[in-house]
């Protein structure tokens, strides 16, 4: 169990749990249209066992009992996402059934005294828009603005907070350069355009919501600490470049209206024409920022193509994902982000957690490794707060085991165990650990 107490954190500090639509809802239900991830999963070799989010956790039909788990665990907030492909199956025309689901979902949160923390986009791009180029197409900023207005016209009067896009790096780099996520490209020109357009869509979305009077608006950045593999200048440069394209690029664009010099030099020829003219929209003022943090990478230089480096295995304890457990990185990102970018704006840890090979034994799951992970990362948050960083909340990833993208249902991140045959939910020891300190 945790050694922390709720009283160890500032008054009003939010404890919550996070999920995303495609990972838990069941995309086959409620009139949702085909999503880019449906297409990606249908292509052999992209997803473990060719699994997809058609049924997932069937949260679409079980949301009330799932929200009961949050309430009963003493959590204050629920971070959820709205599926673009559910709300606009063809990317343009609104599906009333989709909006009605989110209407019911938000009302059910409020009935349980849970603060609704909405994320507009967590990768559920309609296939119809992907076929038009998706994030490579500049028009996506306007399409996303229209989606934003459709959702916020329905639930924006009751949300506690709204984030535009979850993890800009994953939407652009991981999906268009590394090819590990949908649409599965390995194209530097597509990557550069997606990196810029995802920020332009973010800024456009914020402007649309400001015009509607929706408040408490922010963005969620995933960050991964970059460490050099040795003391050589080449390793230091490898880590600095990784830090730039993974961490600095998106937060610098959103808060300073500039991109790191290394990235402009490398990617500038591939950016859209007159991209500098978009920076005023990209730099639109925000009310808060979220950081998703899991691990660090150790970078070594190589003689391959740009970016001329690769990750090497580190010495620390690993999660089921093979990710090192490195809580110091969360502390350092909170401190650095406030010092360099966000100043006095509230910061939230919007995702933090670990995958573990959990097993259900006699009706219980003893996930001690996850409890230790949360314990150490909550301490990192407390240490940052002690240095004056305005951290105002922590969202555990995830409420329940779910569809872990290209890894299918194999990796379990949940505080609640899901049997993917029966869909039965069983709170794990980590859920009970939170309940002990929150209730």
Which residue numbers are catalytic? Answer: 167, 351
257: left (phi over 0), alpha (psi -120 to 50) or beta: left
DSSP letter for 157, please: T
135 annotated ligand-binding residue? no
Burial zone of 83 (CB within 10 Å; 0-12 exposed, 13-18 middle, 19+ buried): buried
Tell whether 122 is in a known binding site. Answer: yes
Pairing mode, strands 347-351 and 391-397: parallel
Residue 75 DSSP label: -
**Has 404 been labeled as part of a binding site?**
yes
Find out whether 27 is annotated in a ligand binding site: no
Which element (helix H / strand E) includes 107? helix 96-111
Instruction: Of 237, 86, 253, 228, give the one whose Cα is nearest residue 169.
Output: 253
* CA torsion through residues 99, 122, 379, 356, sign: positive
State how far the alpha carbon of 35 is from the alpha carbons of 6, 27, 53, 169, 183, in Å.
40, 9, 10, 19, 11
Give backbone dihedrals phi and psi of 38, rounded to 5 degrees, phi first: -65, -45
Ligand-binding site membership of 29 (annotated): no
* Residue 292 counted as an annotated binding residue: no
Q: Provide the token pair at 50.
A: 């060719």
Q: Are strands 288-301 and 347-351 parallel, antiparallel or unpaired?
A: parallel
Q: Could you please report the per-residue DSSP string of 330-347?
A: HHHHHHHHIIIIITTS-E
Q: Measure the N-to-C terminal CA separation of the chain; round to a whole number of Å.
A: 14
379 annotated as belonging to a binding site for a ligand: no
Annotated binding site, which residues?
A: 23, 122, 166, 294, 397, 404-405
């Amino acid at each position: 169990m945790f050694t922390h107490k709720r009283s160890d954190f500032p008054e009003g500090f939010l404890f919550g749990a996070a999920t995303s639509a495609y990972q838990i809802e069941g995309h086959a239900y409620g009139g949702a249209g085909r999503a880019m991830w449906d297409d990606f999963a249908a292509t052999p070799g992209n997803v473990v066992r060719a699994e997809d989010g058609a049924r997932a956790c069937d949260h679409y039909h079980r949301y009330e009992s799932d929200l009961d788990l949050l309430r009963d665990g003493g959590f204050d907030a629920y971070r959820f996402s709205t599926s673009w492909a559910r709300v606009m199956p063809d990317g343009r025309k609104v599906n009333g059934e989709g909006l009605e689901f989110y209407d019911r979902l938000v009302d059910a949160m409020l009935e349980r005294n849970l603060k609704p923390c909405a994320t507009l986009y967590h990768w559920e791009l309609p296939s119809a828009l992907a076929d038009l180029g998706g994030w490579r197409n500049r028009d996506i900023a306007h399409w996303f603005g229209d989606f934003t207005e459709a959702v916020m016209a329905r639930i924006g009067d009751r949300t506690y907070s709204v984030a535009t896009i979850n993890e800009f790096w994953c939407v652009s780099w991981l999906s268009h350069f590394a090819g590990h996520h949908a649409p599965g490209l390995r194209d530097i020109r597509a990557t550069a355009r997606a990196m810029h357009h995802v920020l332009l869509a973010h800024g456009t979305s914020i402007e649309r919501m400001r015009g509607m009077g929706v408040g408490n608006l922010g963005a969620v950045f995933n960050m991964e600490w970059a460490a050099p593999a040795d003391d050589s200048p080449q390793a230091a440069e490898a880590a600095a470049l990784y830090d730039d394209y993974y961490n600095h690029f998106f937060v610098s664009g959103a808060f300073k209206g500039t991109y790191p010099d290394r990235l402009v030099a490398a990617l500038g020829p591939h950016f859209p024409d007159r991209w500098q003219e978009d920076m005023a929209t990209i730099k639109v003022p925000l009310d808060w920022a979220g950081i998703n943090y899991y691990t660090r990478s150790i970078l070594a230089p190589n003689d391959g193509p740009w970016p001329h480096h690769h990750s090497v295995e580190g010495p620390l304890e690993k999660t089921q994902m093979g990710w090192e457990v490195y809580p110091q990185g969360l502390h350092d990102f909170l401190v650095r982000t406030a010092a360099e970018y966000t100043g006095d704006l509230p910061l939230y840890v919007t995702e933090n957690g670990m995958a573990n090979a959990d097993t259900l034994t006699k009706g219980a799951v003893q996930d001690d490794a996850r409890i230790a992970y949360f314990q150490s990362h909550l301490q990192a948050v407390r240490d940052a707060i002690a240095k004056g960083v305005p951290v105002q909340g922590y969202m555990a990833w995830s409420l329940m085991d779910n569809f872990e993208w290209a890894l299918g249902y194999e990796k379990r991140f949940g505080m609640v165990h899901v049997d993917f045959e029966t869909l039965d939910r069983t709170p794990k020891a980590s859920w009970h650990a939170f309940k002990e300190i929150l209730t």
